[in-house]
Amino acid sequence: MAEERTFVAIKPDGVERGLIGEIIGRFEKRGLKLVGLKLMTVTTSKAEEHYGEHKGKPFFDGLIKFITSGPIVAMCWEGKNAIVLARSVIGATNPKDATPGTIRGDLAVDLGRNVVHGSDSAASAEREIGIFFSKQELLEDWQRTIHKWIVE
Ligand code: IDP
Ligand code: MG
């Protein structure tokens, strides 16, 4: 049976700051499996669809401007409890509340520059993966030989 999948993105600030390798490494080390990866620039319409739940909020326009301002790294990670696990690797939305050891707790300062995105639920994950990836861009048949050392 396929394990859970989640959508994670390194936002333009993370790319600009040279944190791509650092951030990807944290998900790899946690034990998640990378099944989709691309460097891309997000169009305004894709950004508005992705952040649709925040439409009308005071920070929405700034958020769209920011997320479309430079390249992002779009990723799909797979694993047991991948959605909750990725959120725990990422840390609290506001870096001032994020625990040290999390990406935001170690690498970020400001709410509007929190370097990474992660889906917050199964429904969001499915929706967001669909916005950023076509089916052919996601691995379906890669079995890692180390899997049995990560999941019982
Ligand atoms: P999340 O990224 O932890 O899921 P959300 O509440 O979904 O957090 O917000 C999406 C993104 O919008 C946040 O990561 C942050 O960059 C930005 N954001 C959220 N709330 C504010 C705010 O009050 N001011 C500025 N930016 C915000
Ligand atoms: Mg969110």
Q: What is the pLDDT of residue 19?
A: 98
Q: What is the pLDDT of residue 46?
A: 98
Would you call 117 a catalytic residue per the annotation?
yes
Question: What is the spatial distance between Cα 9 and Cα 117, in angstroms, rounded to a whole number?
Answer: 5
The arithmetic mean of pLDDT across residues 82-91, rounded, is 98
- Is the pLDDT at 1 greater than 70? The verdict is no
Determine which residue's CA is closest to atom 1 belonging to ligand 1: 93
Which CATH class name applies to 3-139? alpha beta
Asked if 11 and 66 count as a contact pair (C-beta separation under 8 A), the reply is yes
Is residue 6 in contact with ligand 1, taking CB distance under 6 Å? no
Scan for tokens 């990866």, then name that residue. 37
Is residue 121 in contact with ligand 1, taking CB distance under 6 Å? no
The arithmetic mean of pLDDT across residues 86-93, rounded, is 98
Q: What is the pLDDT of residues 52-65, one digit of tens each?
A: 999 999 999 999 99
The arithmetic mean of pLDDT across residues 8-31, rounded, is 98
pLDDT, the chain, mean? 97
The DSSP element (H or E) to which 60 belongs, if any, is helix 60-67
Which two three-digit tokens encode residue 80? 């047991």
Banded model confidence at residue 2, pLDDT cuts 50, 70, 90: low
Question: What is the spatial distance between Cα 28 and Cα 144, in angstroms, rounded to a whole number?
Answer: 12
Q: What is the pLDDT of residue 54?
A: 98
Residue 132 Cα, ligand 1 centroid: separation in angstroms?
A: 19
Number of residues that make up the chain: 152
Q: What is the pLDDT of residues 114-151, one digit of tens each?
A: 999 999 999 999 999 999 999 999 999 999 999 999 99
Q: What is the pLDDT of residue 143?
A: 93
Is residue 93 in contact with ligand 1, taking CB distance under 6 Å? yes
Q: What is the pLDDT of residue 44?
A: 98
